[in-house]
Structure 1
Amino acid sequence: MSTSTQNPKNEFNLAIVGAGPRGTSTVERLAHLANNLERTANRINITVFDPYRPGSGHVWSPKQSEHFLMNTPASFPTVAPERTSDEPGLSFRQFVALHGDGRRLSEEHARMLSQVEAGTYPSRALYGEYLEHVYDSSVALLAAHESFSVEHLAAEVIGVRPLGNGYQLDYRTAQGEGEAAQKTFDAVVLALGHQSAELNPWQKQLQEAAQQADATYLPPNVPADLDYSLFAESQPALIRGLGLNFFDGMAELTLGRGGLFRETGKEPGHRLEYIASGREPELVVASRRGTPYWGKPVVEQFIPEEISLRYFDVPELIGQLAEARATNPAATLVFSRHIWPKLHRDILFAYYSTWAESCGAPEGFSAEEFIEQLDELLTAEHREGSQVWLGELRKFIAQIPECEWLDVPKLAKPFDEVGFGSDAEYQQAVRDYLVDNARHSVGGLKDPLSCAIMTMNAGRMLIKELVVTGVIDEQSRIEEIQAHFEPLVEGLSSGPPLERIEQLLALSRAGLVSFIGPEPEFGFDEVSQMFTASSPWVDSEVYTARTMCEAMMPSNRVLQNDTQLIRQLLKDHVARAHTWRNEEGESLPGSGFDVVGEPYRLVNNEGLAHRGIFVLGVQLSSAQWGTAIAAQAGNMKNPAAQTLHDAANVVNEVARLAGLQGKEALSAAQD
């Protein structure tokens, strides 16, 4: 067993726990460091722990169903900066352009790769091939360098404990039984990704009731881990959740059972019809808002270059904050006062300016005159946080008969407080909503609503940056951004590709998908031994089924995670959950680990940061708003490239701790 105390001073042992996208980004940045170093007297020994194949890890296996799609276009995701010369990594779009960059692909994956274009949504299996290629290429470069060594242990880490100047890792191999093995390291990177979690009390009740009645309850899970054979043919199944997990399941239970979506050649919203195989279950589905996430606009980029922000000016906000802190060092930004009024202006400007340019200016105006008047109303001087401008703009729009008011907050709940007298009425209302979605999304950059939504998403990227820098009031972040703005922007910007909306419409018309209604109520009837579901806003019979599925990921709260490692970290006080105080002074638990600085160092129960334990990804949810599965390809300084920035920060600090200083240790973040 190698330990820090046994190694010579010039040996530095690094453990990377988790080899999915974030662990792979770390390995790639280490390879980039090695690529810029001559042989040195110092040596870094890297051990990667993951029971699954490194690169793709647990979630991104190339062996999973081809029906599971990413929800970002192929031009967006990457786990490495774009290759410019002999760097080990490359972006996914470069991987596509280079036809796999020399990686041996199956015939099916080679065919799929050849069909990927900038605006298409590739399968997660295909992205897994890319992840494995980046990992393998990076490991090959590290292995060839005399100052680095790297090995992968197919093992689950079940404990991390400080030991002297280093850290002891307890781990159990995939085949291992009995006592755990131990190794000691100088630094540890926790890149854990999604972890299993305890069910909430209501979910536990449903699970226990199902077990007693021999019914089937499927708790939150990664889509690829779900046992779809438990959905009986031609039988109803209740599904809670209409996000991305739902669409994966929908595809697997239809296409995966021999069904076929056939092109009709008709207009958007009617482009597909479903030819059933007869093996499908009947899906009875619901979400709190009563509708699925809005399908994405048909554009090639995640946020097209044509989308810009003219009122939400981050440098201006930071400058104003600096002035405020000159007299009040504790000053922060409040979302509802400093951010939303500006972003709201941008969203409305995008909507109405696109409307004037694409649909024709209203009577009495040229397009230029209308947009100029719009800008004057949006830039009118009012006191900070004032919403007077909104009333003035509403009056202006009301004077134009052919122009409707865009109620942005209402977009989050399209059926809010709307009652439906029958089930048939509600089914048609949802179909009309989805058809409307299809028509707007097809319009892309020429559609006013699509441009408004993409503008909101551009604002979200900047808000994420403000959260990372710590300038937003924490109570505002949790109670305004995460509780209210996040559901709005997620429901509109994080939805599936338009293809999924067309498929859902076809299944609804075929009678294989039924919608329950907003604010659904689920339960279990002990007499009939059935799950039940209904909506207080739809006057129809209660739906029943012997199968119920939670179409969502496990909860991302460290206090709710039930993995042996996270429990050990908290129990042994190696880590603690982040806490925050509300206006009443109450201390409330956050969702992620307590961390400090960049790179993010884990904080122990006494409030002290570990010198050598770094956290990446999902468990940073208290320090970052949203933890993306990938970075945006292109400029590494872009806020949407945060995951690359985090990995580079970790590697720079590892290089410093390992004694790689001065000119010989080129910054791993330089590109």
Structure 2
Amino acid sequence: MNSEKAAPKNEFSLVLVGAGPRGTSVVERLANLALNLPEQGTVLKVTVFDPFTPGSGHVWNPKQSQNFLMNTPSSFPTVAPEREGAEPGLSFRQFVELRGDGRKLTDEHAKLIERIEPGTYPSRAIYGEYLEHVYDRSASILAAHENFSIQHVAAEVIAVRPVGNAYQVDFSSAQDSAETRQLDADAVVLALGHQPAELNPWQKQLEEAAAQAGATYMPPNVPADLDYSRFKEGQPALIRGLGLNFFDGMAELTAGRGGIFRESSTEPGHRLEYIASGREPALIVASRRGTPYWGKPVVDQFIPDEIELRYFDAPELIGRLAEARATNPAASLVFSRHIWPKLHRDILFAYYSSCARVHGAPDGLGEREFVERLEAILSAEHHEGSQVWLGELRKFIEQFPQLQWLDVPKLAKPFEEVGFNSDEQYQQSVRDYLVDNARHSTGGLDDPLSCAIMTMNAGRMLIKELIASGVIDEQSRIEEIQAHFEPLVEGLSSGPPLERIEQLLALSRAGIVSFVGPDPEFGFDEVSERFTASSPWVDAEVHTAKTMCEAMMPSNRVLQNSSALIKQLLGDHVARVHRWKNAEGESLPGSGFDVVGEPYRLVNSEGLAHRGLFVLGLQLSSAQWGTAIAAQAGDLRRPAARTLHDAANVVNEVARLAGLNGNGGLSAEQD
């Protein structure tokens, strides 16, 4: 009998702040590491802090209304790579195909999952079930492994302070927020997700005026957190914002109050009629564009395999940039010079080649000849950044009366500088626009405009990767991509499922929803004690209401954030906001934390990167573009899987810091 005692094991403590999708991806990658790790002398102790249920976190509660839908089809989102063997996680698509993968579901959710197809836009509640399943399965693997332990603490972290080479984490429990406790950690991952934010000056003014007059002002919020009882039945309510938050609220205030959307036709734009319950408010809605985001094409994939980029070649751009940096280390890509002329070609090629494929080539030309002439113009050699090809293409297209010129930038503002003589004229114009949207989107891959929009979206995914790689000039990113391209591509590619457009049309025809007009002006009339809204482009009476709702998420700017933790990190100089310089050399604050490297280490006020303090998700908005979007299932090396890649990088580095040996952490190559 061997009487020798086992050698004591070293401990490395990891704190994960936030257990929503990003935090769950980290736990899943840790479990993947555990499955590939032989027993050894270090124990990794994981403590997960989140006041809400881990997995679903705050936003994805499975108990929320089924009226709140996701913005991507079920084939796209995930918090884990596709499961191929013993991996702890699985994609959402696999979760649906496996009817919950053994998770105990309510009867309602079990029935809903059975109806989900690849092109279905599921409810947030169903996705919350998936998130909790991945977290629970991953946590159970960690708990069963001799070299890992994991615990969830239902508490809010209010401070993280460096102490030597480690960190002190202050937290207050959900049961007793007045009591603050501490925990020491060797490394901390901030996966915070959506955080509360301070109102801007104009919003504060509206809020204060409403409070004094007894009116109802609802600031930006997560849709599931909004108190919909504050919308009074039969009474007008102003809503600012026509994005996804609006559509969630629209459904909750209509179908959620007993109204019925009934199938009445197979014609796109006229499929539904609305039968009111009488409990609905009268919704008066507005956005800068005057219209909602374009409803998504009816396809099974987020970006179908048939959509390709022929001219915008990101690897080629990066290769040429590397050559340029050999003589000029400060060289970078400029959107208007290096990217847009190429992506614009792709969009127009997709549109006009689809026109020839779907509707036949213009008179006098066969489809092949038309496409060859199209390619010749688009492929002609010009100096970099040249727009000469655009004029040549326009001359070519104008030869054919049956073809319309696709003015891509104008798609972002369909009613720009168009005046309307009456409210009735504007309401009908918006309905005509939405019907046109329904007709195009129903066509899917057989609709030229839908193909052009999906091509632009494919380009957006590559631009996101270029931004994350740090090769795009920052001023170009702020003043060209963020100011101009982002509103264009978001307005066309980030809209609701087409079902929402059909519902909005039905509600407009039923008189439940009315539109204010482009460039709306909001105010508060202290005499009538009502909110006001009007458009300079619509000759109509000013809209008034005692209730106003900001249908948008809280601002994702760390300097505008009101969470205790983010304020502490900035106030104690543990973190700083990212700053960028414009052409005049002015230093301007960005939206996210200043971070460095991959994994993203937080940078303190002196410009030094923390050894073991990492950032994931929304607060990376200065280092990445589109931090809110879900990761795409499949290969972790694909641009759309960036959030999975970020989680894998964090786990690899934590494993290195902890002294864990093994090949399980190199997730990008493994999966």
Tell me the TM-score range normalised by the shorter chain: over 0.9
Note the C-alpha offset of 1:55.
0.2
Aligned 1:176-255 pairs, distance under 5 A: 176-255=176-255
Any conservation in 2 of the 1:168–1:182 contact (CA below 8 Å)?
yes
2:471 aligned residue: 471
Structure 2 CA distance for aligned equivalents of residues 315 and 563 of structure 1: 40
The one-letter amino acid of 1:218's match is M
Structure 2 CA distance for aligned equivalents of residues 327 and 156 of structure 1: 50
1:621 aligned residue: 621
How many pairs are equivalent? 664
1:667 aligned residue: 666
Note the C-alpha offset of 1:667.
2.0
Any conservation in 1 of the 2:221–2:553 contact (CA below 8 Å)?
yes
Note the C-alpha offset of 1:636.
1.2
Aligned 1:194-343 pairs, distance under 5 A: 194-343=194-343
Note the C-alpha offset of 1:665.
5.2
Structure 1 CA distance for aligned equivalents of residues 431 and 9 of structure 2: 67
Structure 1 CA distance for aligned equivalents of residues 601 and 665 of structure 2: 22
Note the C-alpha offset of 1:337.
0.2
The one-letter amino acid of 1:617's match is G
Structure 1 CA distance for aligned equivalents of residues 332 and 326 of structure 2: 12
Aligned 1:491-510 pairs, distance under 5 A: 491-510=491-510
Per-residue displacement from partner, 1:456-493 (whole Å, max 9, x unpaired)?
00000000000011000000001100111000000000
The one-letter amino acid of 1:42's match is T
Note the C-alpha offset of 1:664.
5.7
Any conservation in 1 of the 2:186–2:612 contact (CA below 8 Å)?
yes
The one-letter amino acid of 1:450's match is S
Structure 1 CA distance for aligned equivalents of residues 375 and 304 of structure 2: 22
Per-residue displacement from partner, 1:261-291 (whole Å, max 9, x unpaired)?
0001231000000000000000000000000
Per-residue displacement from partner, 1:561-606 (whole Å, max 9, x unpaired)?
0000000000000000000000000000000000000000000000
The one-letter amino acid of 2:315's match is P
Aligned 1:12-161 pairs, distance under 5 A: 12-161=12-161
Secondary structure (helix, strand or coil) at the match of 2:667 reads coil
Backbone CA RMSD of aligned residues: 1.0
Secondary structure (helix, strand or coil) at the match of 2:420 reads coil
Structure 2 CA distance for aligned equivalents of residues 665 and 133 of structure 1: 22
1:604 aligned residue: 604
Any conservation in 2 of the 1:21–1:629 contact (CA below 8 Å)?
no
Structure 2 CA distance for aligned equivalents of residues 467 and 9 of structure 1: 42
The TM-score, its normalising length taken from structure 1, stands at: 0.98
Any conservation in 1 of the 2:170–2:181 contact (CA below 8 Å)?
yes
1:162 aligned residue: 162
2:570 aligned residue: 570
Q: Gaps spanning 5+ residues in structure 1: where? A: 1-7
2:631 aligned residue: 631
Per-residue displacement from partner, 1:607-661 (whole Å, max 9, x unpaired)?
0000000000000000001103421011111100000000000000000000013
Any conservation in 1 of the 2:648–2:665 contact (CA below 8 Å)?
no
Secondary structure (helix, strand or coil) at the match of 2:162 reads strand
Secondary structure (helix, strand or coil) at the match of 1:436 reads helix
Structure 2 CA distance for aligned equivalents of residues 9 and 129 of structure 1: 36
Please state if 1:429 is matched with 2:397: no
Structure 2 CA distance for aligned equivalents of residues 201 and 667 of structure 1: 47
Structure 1 CA distance for aligned equivalents of residues 164 and 84 of structure 2: 42
Note the C-alpha offset of 1:178.
2.8
Please state if 1:512 is matched with 2:525: no
Structure 1 CA distance for aligned equivalents of residues 105 and 11 of structure 2: 37
Note the C-alpha offset of 1:666.
4.6
2:402 aligned residue: 402
Structure 1 CA distance for aligned equivalents of residues 316 and 34 of structure 2: 39
Note the C-alpha offset of 1:157.
0.1
Note the C-alpha offset of 1:425.
0.3
2:5 aligned residue: none
Structure 1 CA distance for aligned equivalents of residues 374 and 664 of structure 2: 53
Structure 2 CA distance for aligned equivalents of residues 168 and 505 of structure 1: 54
1:5 aligned residue: none
1:486 aligned residue: 486
Q: Gaps spanning 5+ residues in structure 2: where? A: 1-7
The TM-score, its normalising length taken from structure 2, stands at: 0.98
Note the C-alpha offset of 1:86.
0.7
Secondary structure (helix, strand or coil) at the match of 1:625 reads coil
Note the C-alpha offset of 1:322.
1.6
Structure 2 CA distance for aligned equivalents of residues 240 and 220 of structure 1: 10
Any conservation in 2 of the 1:231–1:547 contact (CA below 8 Å)?
yes
Structure 1 CA distance for aligned equivalents of residues 229 and 666 of structure 2: 50
Structure 2 CA distance for aligned equivalents of residues 178 and 238 of structure 1: 38
Structure 2 CA distance for aligned equivalents of residues 544 and 45 of structure 1: 57
Secondary structure (helix, strand or coil) at the match of 2:326 reads helix
Structure 2 CA distance for aligned equivalents of residues 128 and 319 of structure 1: 41
Any conservation in 1 of the 2:9–2:41 contact (CA below 8 Å)?
no
Note the C-alpha offset of 1:84.
0.2
Note the C-alpha offset of 1:40.
1.2
Any conservation in 2 of the 1:38–1:664 contact (CA below 8 Å)?
no
Per-residue displacement from partner, 1:332-382 (whole Å, max 9, x unpaired)?
000000000000000000000000000111001011110110000001111
Structure 1 CA distance for aligned equivalents of residues 115 and 9 of structure 2: 52
1:419 aligned residue: 419
The one-letter amino acid of 1:645's match is H
Structure 2 CA distance for aligned equivalents of residues 162 and 252 of structure 1: 45
Alpha-carbon spacing, 1:535–1:664, altered in 2? closer, same or farther (3 Å): closer
Note the C-alpha offset of 1:319.
1.6
Note the C-alpha offset of 1:165.
1.4
Percent pairwise identity: 78
Structure 2 CA distance for aligned equivalents of residues 626 and 164 of structure 1: 35
